[in-house]
Amino acid sequence: MTSGPGYAVINTAKGPITIEIYKDASADVVGRFINLCKSNHFKGMPFRHIIKNFVIQGGDFDFDGAAQEWITKAKASGKNNLSPKHEAFMIGTAKNPNNKGFDLFITTAPIPHLNDKLVVFGRVVKGEDIVQEIEEVDTDEHYQPKTPIGIMNIILKQEP
C-alpha cells in the first residue's frame, strides 16, 4: 500500500470534482497520475470527448484507433449492464502500455464492457453534479464539445 495522497480535486470551469484515488489500483497508473498532477501536467487540458450517459474523456491524445472503436461500439450497442467494477462516476485511463500520454476517463453510467479497456484508479466522491453539468454541454457529431471546457488544475490532498 502506498502512502501518497488519497484524493485529487479536479478543478474545472464548471466547478471542482473530488476523486478518491484507489490505493489498491495499478501502482504504475496511480504513480503516473500523482506525478503528472505534481508537475501540473493536466493544467489547461481540455475534455476532448463528452458522450452523454457514457463517458467524459480528457487527456493528451485524441482518440486512437482502439479508443474510437470501443466508444463507437458501446454507443451503437446501447447496452449498459451493471458491473461492480464500472459503476457511474469512476475514474480511469486507457489500457495502453505504449501510450506516452495520459487519458482521463470519467464514466457517467455503468460501463461493464470497458473492463478490458480501462484501468480504474478512482471514483468521484464529490462533484457528481459538476460531472453531470459537463456531460450536458453541446457537442458536435464527433462528441467534441462545441465550447471548450477543460481542467484548470488538479490538486492532490490527503483528505477529501
At residue 94, the pLDDT reads 80
CATH 2.40.100.10 assigned to 7-157: yes
Instruction: Tell me if 86 sits within 8 A of 114, measured CB to CB.
Output: yes
At residue 72, the pLDDT reads 55
> Hunting for cell 450497442 — which residue is that?
77
Task: Tell me how far apart the alpha carbons of residues 84 and 105 are, in angstroms, rounded to a whole number.
Answer: 17
- Mean pLDDT, range 11-34, rounded to an integer: 92
User: What's the grid cell of residue 145?
Assistant: 464539445
Sequence spans of domains, the chain: 7-157
pLDDT in tens, 39-80: 999 999 999 899 988 889 987 654 444 455 545 555 554 443
At residue 63, the pLDDT reads 45
* One-letter-per-residue 3-state SS of 40-60: CCCCCCEEEEEECCCEEEEEC
More confident residue, 110 or 121: 121
Does 85 have pLDDT greater than 60?
no
CA gyration radius, the chain: 14
